[in-house]
């Protein structure tokens, strides 16, 4: 992981990422979160204890964690001692120690907190902890993790997680990783999950509902569905080709990056768009039509397990490395199924892109446009042009090396540019200049 540099205008507070200037924290690096949570569905009440293992990056006496203003903190200790002072303000938990810690010192931060969680309002709508008609979902991208636990909420700040969640027994509670334990007591069920792979906070999720869990496929990687029983038939059909999808993506992108398998959650409510989390994708009931109408989205979310969840951007300006790759995976699945080829889809979306506004720079789209569909499609088109330039053998070898070299790591666009150069017989600079750093839409077939 690269050291994070302070980027700020003179006179303004330092920021880690200009796209989300209020999130992320300086002075330490977290290696592990252990969350012990109790949630009452009927009254939307969360009580939590977070134990955070970290190391100081510099001499440290004051530091912050990201935490929603909807949650109040009752107790804090650092290395077993109460701090000189703590307070919450500006969606931060501010902690002041009685004595300075030297650089390289271990920190164990314990926080007791609770409240009525709610989503965080952002440029992209409400994100984070959200009540459903009968349960809960967490959609953390890009800055929603602090809506339910104190954290260093930035994509380059990866850590392992242990999540223990107790809720009323009729509900199934799902979090990231492997289920270690499940026990029932006095009308409450406690679920314990372990996510050992380094994971960004926005990819940690909690899903609670009147759900059943069943296996969809086992083709090297176990795939499960967690969903209302009433949707079982539709899910078995609509998500039924995920085993073949997984086999194709492992062939093209390299080994599936997680030990705990893959789970699809389908909520009883409709959702506008599906959502990715580490080892989990979340769909709405509206994505089950019995006709595989959402299969493009199913491929997209599965591909994120490689591109976005394992190989994760260091800063949000590089988001095309998530969305462009996942979008191109949709086209690869279509091609594999004998439907529209990647080239046909590229030509279709190239025409659409040409008729849209030409004011987006793919490598730095700006915070308001980071989830614009043009980022997805132009990113996929960039990869298609690169594929034609390199040829299939070298292009897919490049993707496999990308997912292997940067497995569970943080990346920037220059990392991909540098790696791609090893597979090219001639300079790729004109390709990158045209597709990544210009607002114009280049020809799909540039003159040789």
Q: Average model confidence (pLDDT) for the chain?
A: 95
pLDDT at 9 over 60: no
* DSSP character string of 252-314: HH-S-S-SS-EEEEE-SS--SS-EEETTEEEE-GGG--SS-TTHHHHHHHHHTTTBTTTBEES
Host H or E run for residue 93: strand 92-101
Mapped onto helix, strand or coil, the DSSP state of residue 152 is coil
- Whether 10 shows a pLDDT value over 60: the answer reads no
Report which of 32, 44, 46 is spatially closest to residue 148, judged by C-alpha positions: 46
CA pseudo-torsion sign 392, 393, 399, 403: positive
Residue ranges per domain, the chain? 28-209, 212-305, 313-435
What CATH topology corresponds to 212-305?
A: Zincin-like (3.30.2010)
The fraction of the chain above a pLDDT of 70, given in percent, is 96
Establish whether 323 is an annotated binding residue: yes
- At 206, list the tokens: 């909690």
Percent of the chain with pLDDT over 90: 95
Classify 362 as helix, strand or coil: coil
Specify the residue for token string 């799902």.
174
> Which residues partner with 129 through β-bridges?
138
What whole-number distance in Å separates Cα of residue 129 and Cα of residue 112?
Answer: 18
Out of 202, 211, 262, 376, which one is annotated catalytic? 376
Bridge partners, residue 136, by sequence:
131, 208
Q: What is the mean pLDDT of residues 383-411?
A: 98
Q: What is the DSSP letter of 358?
A: -
- Bridge partners, 47 (sequence order): 38, 114
Tokens 């969350």 belong to which residue?
35
Alpha-carbon torsion, ordered 323, 412, 313, 295, to 10 deg = 20
The CA distances from residue 306 to 171, 174, 257, 334, in Å, are 30, 21, 7, 18
Q: What is the CATH number of domain 28-209?
A: 2.60.40.1730
Q: Is the pLDDT of residue 1 over 50?
A: no
**Would you say the pTM of this structure is higher than 0.75?**
yes
At 445 the pLDDT is 85
Query: Nearest to residue 163, comparing CAs of 305, 277, 41?
Result: 277
115-121 mean pLDDT: 97
Domain 313-435, architecture per CATH:
Orthogonal Bundle (1.10)
Distance CA 319, CA 322 (A): 5
Report d(CA 407, CA 253) in Å as an integer.
Answer: 12
Higher pLDDT, 12 or 68: 68
Question: pLDDT tens digit string along 20-67?
Answer: 999 999 999 999 999 999 999 999 999 999 999 999 999 999 999 999
The label of the residue with tokens 């372990």 reads 194
In the block, tokens 């540098």 appear at 418
Q: In the prediction, which pLDDT does 12 show?
A: 60
User: 308-325, pLDDT tens digit by residue?
Assistant: 999 999 999 999 999 999
* Predicted confidence (pLDDT) at residue 2 exceeds the cutoff of 80: no
Strand arrangement of the beta sheet that strand 45-56 belongs to: 71-78, 106-115, 45-56, 28-40, 158-168, 188-200, 178-185
Q: What is the pLDDT of residue 3?
A: 36
Q: Tokens representing 417? A: 């540019």
Is residue 212 a known part of a binding site? no
Overall size of the chain counted in residues: 448
Cα distances from 212 to residues 53, 54, 189, 346, in angstroms, run 34, 36, 15, 39
Q: What is the pLDDT of residue 447?
A: 62
Determine if residue 44 is left, alpha or beta; phi over 0 gives left, psi from -120 to 50 gives alpha, anything else beta. Answer: left
> pLDDT (tens digit, 9 = 90+) per residue, 176-229?
999 999 999 999 999 999 999 999 999 999 999 999 999 998 878 999 999 999
Residue 38's closest CA among 30, 29, 46?
46
Given this model, what pLDDT does residue 304 score?
A: 98
Catalytic-role residue among 28, 301, 328, 330:
301
In this prediction, residue 438 has a pLDDT band, given cuts at 50, 70 and 90, of: very high
Asked if residue 336 belongs to a known ligand binding site, the reply is no
The answer to whether 68 and 143 have CB atoms below 8 angstroms apart is no
- DSSP state, 367? G
Q: Is 130 tagged catalytic?
A: no
The distance of Cα 353 from the centroid of its chain, to the nearest Å, equals 26
301 is catalytic: yes
Q: Which two three-digit tokens encode residue 435?
A: 């597709």
**How far apart (Å, rounded) are the C-alpha atoms in residues 434 and 161?**
41
């Amino acid at each position: 992981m690269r050291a994070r540099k302070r980027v700020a205008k003179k006179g303004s507070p330092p920021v880690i990422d200009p796209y989300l200037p209020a999130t992320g924290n300086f002075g330490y690096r977290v290696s592990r979160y252990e969350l012990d949570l109790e949630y009452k569905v009927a009254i939307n009440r969360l009580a939590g204890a977070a134990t955070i293992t970290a190391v100081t990056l510099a001499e440290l006496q004051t530091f912050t964690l990201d935490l929603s203003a909807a949650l109040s903190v009752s107790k804090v200790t650092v290395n077993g001692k109460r701090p000189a002072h703590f307070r919450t303000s500006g969606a931060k938990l501010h902690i002041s120690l009685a004595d300075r810690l030297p650089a390289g010192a271990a920190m164990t931060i314990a926080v007791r907190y609770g409240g009525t969680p709610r989503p965080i309002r952002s440029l992209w709508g409400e994100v984070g902890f959200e009540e459903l008609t009968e349960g809960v979902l967490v959609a953390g991208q890009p800055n929603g993790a602090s809506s339910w636990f104190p954290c260093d909420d930035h994509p380059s700040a990866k850590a392992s997680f242990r999540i223990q969640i107790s809720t009323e027994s009729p509900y199934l509670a799902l979090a990231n990783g492997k289920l270690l334990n499940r026990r029932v007591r006095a009308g409450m069920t406690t679920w314990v999950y372990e996510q050992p792979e380094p994971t960004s906070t926005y990819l940690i999720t909690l899903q609670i509902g009147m759900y059943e869990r069943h296996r969809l496929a086992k083709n090297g990687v176990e795939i499960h569905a967690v969903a209302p029983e009433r949707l079982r038939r539709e899910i078995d059909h609509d998500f039924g080709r995920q085993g073949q999808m997984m086999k194709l993506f492992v062939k093209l992108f390299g080994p599936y990056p997680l030990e705990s398998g893959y789970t699809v959650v389908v909520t009883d409510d409709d959702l506008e768009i599906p959502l990715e989390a580490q080892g989990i994708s979340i769909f709405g009931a509206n994505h089950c039509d019995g006709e595989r109408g959402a299969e493009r989205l199913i491929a997209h979310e599965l591909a994120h397990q490689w591109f976005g969840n394992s190989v994760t951007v260091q800063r949000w300006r590089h988001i095309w490395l998530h969305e462009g790759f996942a979008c191109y995976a949709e086209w690869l699945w279509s091609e594999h199924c004998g439907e529209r080829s990647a080239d046909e889809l590229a030509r279709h979306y190239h025409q659409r892109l040409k008729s849209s506004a030409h004011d987006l720079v793919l490598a730095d789209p700006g915070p308001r446009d980071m989830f614009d569909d043009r980022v997805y499609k132009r990113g996929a088109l960039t990869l298609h042009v690169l594929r034609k330039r390199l040829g299939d053998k070298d292009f897919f070898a490049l993707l496999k090396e990308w997912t292997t070299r940067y497995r569970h790591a943080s990346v920037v666009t220059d990392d991909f540019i540098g790696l791609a150069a090893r597979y090219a017989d001639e300079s790729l600079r004109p390709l990158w200049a045209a597709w990544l750093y210009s607002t114009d839409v280049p020809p799909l077939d540039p003159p040789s």
